[in-house]
């Protein structure tokens, strides 16, 4: 393309458009005036004004998880940038493609402790896949192209671009839309076929194969391949928290989520299998528990991941496969088909056992009034009955999140959005904003706790202002519930600093923002309240009163392993 003389801000916006950016979540500031001037004139990039930078990052994160595209957030220098950090760390931990643009003081003032100066470049280095401090306007096209390329290829992640005020204001002659990338950045995409054949051999020879599906399945859009493989192989599928939606929960081969708050039979299956195909997962401690000798002790462990550094990091594996999981699964299926393996149709002992495990859990989840069921369980079970399969669920963090992860039946990829790695309270609501912007035709429901929601609820103003009608369902127990649960179980009910008192009135809070608010005292009233919320067309808050001491059980206690779950009394023995 021919050389053009443009200001840095004009170059930034032009390159954003070239990268296909349709929306950015941000807050302006002094050093970003030039950029916002260009955004004011241009309507190609929609800007959503957030009320806190952390929410801007979470919204970009939620947008990316639902759309598969790279989310974009913008914050000013100093406090704007430092407020972004939690959101960037959150997206990084869950490998979500986000590009953050931050303003910076002029290059001549860097290091002088100027007004609203913070060393964003060094502060954000550990919470990004890569970051740039741009010092010359002419570098902008290459920087922005590489930022998007790095964020949304390989193991996806966060890239931050720090933009000093003078770099945005100065004009330069540049070649727009460059194609060149960094010599050192070459993601491993194509899986090694020798390893694939080894994996196929192990799977064919296994009597009790199991597939463990992580978030990598969803970020690589490989749910179709996963389902095909499971059916062809006759292997059940358990998921991680991030893998929820990789296979429709309810599918005969789906055993639901495994791990600390997973389903007992998902964990049992991991313990009993003799070949484990783990795909797009990093074996976090919340999945494996702490007694690794109980984690797939008899299994040939096959690990497929796009990041070579995840191989043998937490768990020693027998057959590593590094590459794009969609390609790897397609290759495995191709070689399996050559071997004409169709164990899925065989009525072997393992398939029968899986069928029993599957129905034991399904019955428990369908039966709303099951004995010993807590109000919180019942509410999620009600949501299963009320919401359609396309509804996007986001969650806050803590008990509400684990109730949702355990009981909510996710049917499709990219419809369950949660803070898996960082465990960020306050994530679900702004993520719901991003989700709704990405999928305006779908219902978006944030499953929240009263503790979490108060951390980011100011962005109800954003929802009203920008017409983003998401529904927040608060599990209102007036406690920091998960920590309280641990205090109850492991600290003899000494509730140190977990009680939240009696304020606020969430219905009035919603109304103060011109949102719809309703209180639900009994689970059976949730249906009408949700109906009213969706009908109102407004952002809505449903305050669901639950027992103060509801617990999410069963769970792997701290230090325990996958077969040492406590609180299993309610589970059917098989």
Partner 1 sequence: MHTHIISLLVEDHPGVLTRMSGMFTMRGINITSLTVSPCEKEGLSRMTVAIEGSESELEQVRKQLSNLIEVVKVVDLAEKKAIIRDLCLMKVHVKDSNARSTVMQLAESYGAKIVDATLDSLIIELTEEPKTIDRFLELMKHFGVKQSFRTGVTAIGIGAGVEK
The catalytic position among 142, 165, 326, 436 is 165
- Give least dist CB 125 to partner 1, A: 6
φ, ψ at 39 (rounded to 5°)? -60, -35
Q: Which of 203, 328, 321 is nearest to 273 (CA)?
A: 203
Task: Give the nearer residue to partner 1 in terms of CB position, either 155 or 551.
Answer: 155
Q: Which of 3, 17, 115, 522 is flagged as catalytic?
A: 115
Catalytic residue (one of 50, 482, 555, 565): 482
Smallest distance from partner 1 to CB 310, Å: 9
Helix (H) or strand (E) holding 29: none
- Cβ distance to partner 1 smaller for residue 130 or 534: 130
The crossing angle, in degrees rounded to 10, of helices 193-205 and 325-338 is 60
Going from the C-alpha of 90 to that of each of 73, 124, 361, 387, the distances in angstroms are 14, 12, 31, 27
Q: Which residues of 324-337 are buried (b: 16+ CB within 10 A; e: fewer)?
A: bbbbbbbbbbebbe
Residue 110 or 330 with smaller CB distance to partner 1: 110
Specify the residue, 314 or 536, whose C-beta has the smaller distance to partner 1: 314
What Cα–Cα distance (Å) separates residue 224 from each residue in 211, 257, 413?
14, 18, 10
Asked if residues 447 and 394 have their Cβ atoms less than 8 Å apart, the reply is: yes
Cβ 309 to partner 1, closest distance in Å? Answer: 4
- Give the 3-state secondary structure percentages of the chain, helix then strand then coil, rounded to 5: 45, 20, 40
Judge whether 482 counts as a catalytic residue. yes
Give the DSSP per-residue string, 266-324.
HHHHHHH-SEEEEES----HHHH-S-GGGSSTTPEEEEEES-GGGTTTSS--SEEEES-
Helix (H/G/I), strand (E/B), else coil: 131: strand
Question: How many Å apart are CA 233 and CA 518, to the nearest integer?
Answer: 48
For the bound state, the minimum distance from the C-beta of residue 185 to partner 1, rounded and expressed in Å, comes to 5
Residue placing its CB nearer to partner 1 in the complex, 107 or 458: 107
Catalytic residue among 4, 22, 37, 116: 116
Measured in residues, the chain has a length of 574
427 an active-site residue?
Answer: no
Among the listed residues 10, 53, 117, 382, the single catalytic one is 53
DSSP 317-351: -SEEEES-HHHHHHHHHHHHHHTT--GGGS--HHH
CA separation for the pair 475, 397 (Å, rounded): 11
Give the phi and the psi of residue 174 in degrees, each rounded to 5. -135, 160
User: In the bound complex, what is the minimum distance in angstroms from residue 135's beta carbon to partner 1?
Assistant: 8
Residue 308: CB minimum distance to partner 1, A: 5
Query: Residue 163 or residue 553: which is nearer to partner 1 going by CB?
Result: 163
The minimum distance between CB 183 and partner 1, in angstroms, equals 5
Asked if 236 contacts 428 with a C-beta cutoff of 8 angstroms, the reply is: no
Binding residues for partner 1, rule: CB under 8 A, are: 121-122, 125-126, 129-130, 133, 135, 150, 155, 182-185, 307-309, 311-313
Q: Given the complex with partner 1, which of 138 and 355 has the nearer CB atom?
A: 138
Residue among 33 and 109 whose Cβ is closer to partner 1: 109
- Measured distance CA(571)–CA(574) in Å, rounded: 9
Q: Which residues are catalytic?
A: 53, 115-116, 165, 482
């Amino acid at each position: 393309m021919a050389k053009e003389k443009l200001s840095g801000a004009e170059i930034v916006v032009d390159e954003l458009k070239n990268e296909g950016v349709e929306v950015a979540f941000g807050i302006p500031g002094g050093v970003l005036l030039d950029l916002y001037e260009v955004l004011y004139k241009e309507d190609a990039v929609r800007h959503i004004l957030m009320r806190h930078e952390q929410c801007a990052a979470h919204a970009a994160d939620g947008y990316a998880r639902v759309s598969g595209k790279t989310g974009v957030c913008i914050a000013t220098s100093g406090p704007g940038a430092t407020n972004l950090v939690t959101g960037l760390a959150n997206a990084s931990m869950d490998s979500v493609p986000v590009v953050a643009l931050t303003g910076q003081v002029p290059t001549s003032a860097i290091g002088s402790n100027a007004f609203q100066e913070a060393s964003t470049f060094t502060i954000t280095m550990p919470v990004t896949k890569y970051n740039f401090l741009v010092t010359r306007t002419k570098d902008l096209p290459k920087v922005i192209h590489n930022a998007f390329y790095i964020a949304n290829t390989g193991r996806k992640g966060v890239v931050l671009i720090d933009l000093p005020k003078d770099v945005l204001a100065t004009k330069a002659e540049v070649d727009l839309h460059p194609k060149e990338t960094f010599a050192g950045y070459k993601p491993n995409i194509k899986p090694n076929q020798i390893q694939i054949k080894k994996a196929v051999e192990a799977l064919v020879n296994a009597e009790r194969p199991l597939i463990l599906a992580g978030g990598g399945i969803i970020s690589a859009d490989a749910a179709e391949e996963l389902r095909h493989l499971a059916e062809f192989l006759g292997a059940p599928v358990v998921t991680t928290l991030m893998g929820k939606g990789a296979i429709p929960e309810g599918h005969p081969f789906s055993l639901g989520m495994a791990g600390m708050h997973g389903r007992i039979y998902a964990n049992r299956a991991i313990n009993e299998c003799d070949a484990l195909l783990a795909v797009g997962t990093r074996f976090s401690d919340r999945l494996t528990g702490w007694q690794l000798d109980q984690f797939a002790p008899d299994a040939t462990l096959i690990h497929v991941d796009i990041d070579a550094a995840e191989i043998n990091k937490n768990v020693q594996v027998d057959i590593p496969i590094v590459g794009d999981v969609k390609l790897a699964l397609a290759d495995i299926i191709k070689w399996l088909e050559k071997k004409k393996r169709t164990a899925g149709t065989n009525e072997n002992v393992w398939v029968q056992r899986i069928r029993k495990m599957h129905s034991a859990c399904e019955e428990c989840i369908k039966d709303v009034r099951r004995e010993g069921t807590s109000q919180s369980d019942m509410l999620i079970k009600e949501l299963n009955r009320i919401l359609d399969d396309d509804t996007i669920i986001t969650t806050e963090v803590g008990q509400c999140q684990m109730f949702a992860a355990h009981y909510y039946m996710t049917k499709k990829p990219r419809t369950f959005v949660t803070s898996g790695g960082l465990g960020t309270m306050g994530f679900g609501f702004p993520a719901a904003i991003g989700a709704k912007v990405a999928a305006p035709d779908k219902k978006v429901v944030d499953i929240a706790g009263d503790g979490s929601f108060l951390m980011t609820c100011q962005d109800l103003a954003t929802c009203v202002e920008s017409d983003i009608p998401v529904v927040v369902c608060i599990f209102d127990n007036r406690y920091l519930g998960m920590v309280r649960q641990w205090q109850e179980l492991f600290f003899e009910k000494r509730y140190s600093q977990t009680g939240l008192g009696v304020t606020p009135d969430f219905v009035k809070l919603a109304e103060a923002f011109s949102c719809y608010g309703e209180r639900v005292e009994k689970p059976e009233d949730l249906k009408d309240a949700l109906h009213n919320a969706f009908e109102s067309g407004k952002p809505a808050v449903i305050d669901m009163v639950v027992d103060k001491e509801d617990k999410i059980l069963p769970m792997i206690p701290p230090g325990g392993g996958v077969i040492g779950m406590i609180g299993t009394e309610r589970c059917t023995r098989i």
